[in-house]
Amino acid sequence: MIASSDAVQAQLDMSPLKRFVVGRRWFLLIPLLIITVMVTTAVLAEFLTPYSPTEISLANRLRPPFWERGGSLSHPLGTDPMGRDLLTRMIYGARVSLMVALLALLVGGGIGAALGLISGYYGGRLDALIMRVADTTMAFPIILFAILFVVVLGGSLATTVFAVALVLWARYARVIRGEVLSLRERDFIAQARIAGCSSTRIMLIHLFPNILNTLVVLLSLQAGWVIIVEASLSFLGAGIPPPTPTWGSMIAEGRDYIATAWWVSFFPGLAILATVLSFNLFGDWLRDALDPKLRQL
């Protein structure tokens, strides 16, 4: 029993990286590699392809991938109905998807974390008001939100980010509030109050560092959800307007050619699947690595 307890303690004392190695979770290298490739291609898009993502070339329309008859290595994944290089548009589409995800998570996560801190710390009527607004926000369909904003404000990157963040904040507020409700009853918070710390100082210096792990895990887990929402909005025409390439709009452009030019919709859909799955797997591992109660080998 003593040896077993020592082994468990040794496992808990390991760093997240060492647990990653000892736990034989080498399969997580695949999603990490995919995320790295997506981020790298999004940042270096101009240097990775000689083609423009928006320039039309009808002479090259619907060219198949290089391994099919009629294909060419000059367009390795083929071309779309407008003759634009599919790989180029996917690379620039990765930039749009990751930018929307980053901005929406920063805005929505920041607002949600702040309101969750305030709601959980103060409680009372303010807590009830914030939570009722959060419940109402989560009950309202994101697609309807976005279509409404497009009609009123017009489709753009800012509109898409605002629409996603407006729904996303409620998810963070509820989770962070639950963490704060537990933390505010701890002894170190009582000692801070006795020492004369202001409410703002307690929330920023004492509470926020203790919810940071939860916030980071939420950000990683919600990244895939934001990418799916952005792709869905673009597919429906309620997201970023053409000719800006987005994975969702590329799938929509190829739906009329699915029987004759399957690659137009297939490869953007595969990119969405791989990216979202990679973020979800990484978020699950990050949750296990940062929460001692969930650490497993």
- Residue 34 resides in a domain: no
Is 220 among the domain residues?
yes
Question: Cβ(119)–Cβ(177) under 8 Å?
Answer: yes
Dist CA 28 CA 148 (whole Å): 39
Q: Nearest-CA neighbor of 184 among 124, 120, 115, 131?
A: 120
Q: Residue 14 domain-assigned?
A: no
pLDDT tens by residue, 99-121: 999 999 999 999 999 999 999 88
- Report yes or no on 285 lying in a domain: yes
- Is 181 domain-assigned? yes
75 phi and psi, to 5 degrees?
A: -130, 80
Q: Does the pTM exceed 0.85?
A: no
Residue 58 neighbours by CB under 8 Å, 6+ apart: 82, 83
CA separation for the pair 230, 227 (Å, rounded): 5
Instruction: Give me the percent of the chain exceeding a pLDDT of 70.
Output: 89
Greatest alpha-carbon pair distance for the chain in Å reads 78
Distance CA(105)–CA(166), nearest Å, equals 10
**Is 53 inside any structural domain?**
no
Give the CATH number, domain containing residue 219. 1.10.3720.10
Q: Which domain holds residue 255?
A: 98-294
In the structure encoding, which two tokens stand for residue 19, read together? 């647990």
Predicted pLDDT at 297: 44
SS3 label, residue 75: strand
Nearest to 81 by CA among 60, 106, 105, 95: 60
Query: Predicted confidence band at 264 (pLDDT cuts at 50, 70, 90)?
Result: very high
The residues with which 85 forms a beta bridge, in sequence order, are: 79
pLDDT in tens, 154-170: 778 888 888 888 888 98
Mean pLDDT, the chain, whole residue set: 83
Q: pLDDT tens digits, residue range 9-32?
A: 544 455 555 554 445 466 678 888
The domain total for the chain is: 1
